[in-house]
Amino acid sequence: MQRREFLKLTLGAGAIGTLYVAGMIKTSHAQSSNPAITQPSLPFKKEGLEPYISAKTIEFHYGKHHAGYVSKTNQLITGTGYEKMPLVDIIQKTAGVADKAAIFNNAAQVFNHTFYWNSMHPKGGGKPTGKIGQKIEESYENHQKFTESFLDAAVSQFGSGWAWVVLDAGKLKIIKTTNADTPVAHGIKPILTIDVWEHAYYLDYQNRRADYVRAFIEHLINWEFAEQNLAD
């Protein structure tokens, strides 16, 4: 796989440490005319994931859904104490706060989607090597068992949500979250993720979520990104 540069994203809740993305989720300290939260560019061309995820899906998913979460987050935090906070701080400070649910949901979806784009690569998938491959064997015995567990988590998530590979107490674990929920809200370090909201796959796979998840595992997982996140 071609080597790519990832930018460091320093997180709150020190137990998580740092993550890396191929486009920083920025927080601006400029006036409100300059949005506080910006949408990173895709780390691949919109047609780069074909035939597994179409350019049309990317146009709607990144161009409408993800962009909409960025816009709504900026609307909700303008003029508040959250306006100058880093994105992850906003997520952690609004998690579980009933009257801040709209801020949490939109901010968390900005983070989740950025992490999702970085979790994929046009030449991804397959069996990983390096530290991430070793960690999978330590945590799941072998790659096949890891794949089965990840597939099960992603397919069995009822309704909208996410399946994640996370690092918890030094071991890789597979978890799932509903709607906008995200590991960083709970002090857990994400390594990679798949979006299982219907807008992520319905244009290409209709109700065949399992086929979408298999394509992600076999052809799209960005193991370099996962390895980078594992290292810090």
User: What class, spelled out in words, does domain 7-118 have in CATH?
Assistant: mainly alpha
For residue 13, what pLDDT is reported? Answer: 45
> Distance between CA 10 and CA 143 in Å, rounded?
30
For 95-131, write each residue's pLDDT tens digit.
999 999 999 999 999 999 999 999 999 999 999 999 9
H or E element, residue 177: strand 171-178
pLDDT score, position 169: 87
Q: Is the pLDDT of residue 22 over 60?
A: no
Round to whole Å and give the CA distance between 200 and 223. Answer: 20
> What CATH homologous superfamily does 130-231 map to?
Iron/manganese superoxide dismutase, C-terminal domain (3.55.40.20)
Torsion over CA of 47, 53, 43 and 229, rounded to 10 degrees? -160
Confidence at 26, pLDDT banded by 50, 70, 90: very low
Residues carrying CATH 1.10.287.990, the chain: 7-118
What Rg value do the Cα atoms of the chain yield, rounded?
17
**Delimiting residues of CATH 3.55.40.20 domain(s) in the chain:** 130-231
How far is residue 186's CA from residue 162's CA, in Å, rounded to a whole number? Answer: 15
Reported as a single tens digit per residue, the pLDDT across 3-16 is 444 455 544 444 45
**Local structure of residue 65 (DSSP, 8 states):** I
Residues 165-215: tens digit of each pLDDT? 999 988 999 999 999 999 999 999 999 999 999 999 999 999 999 999 999
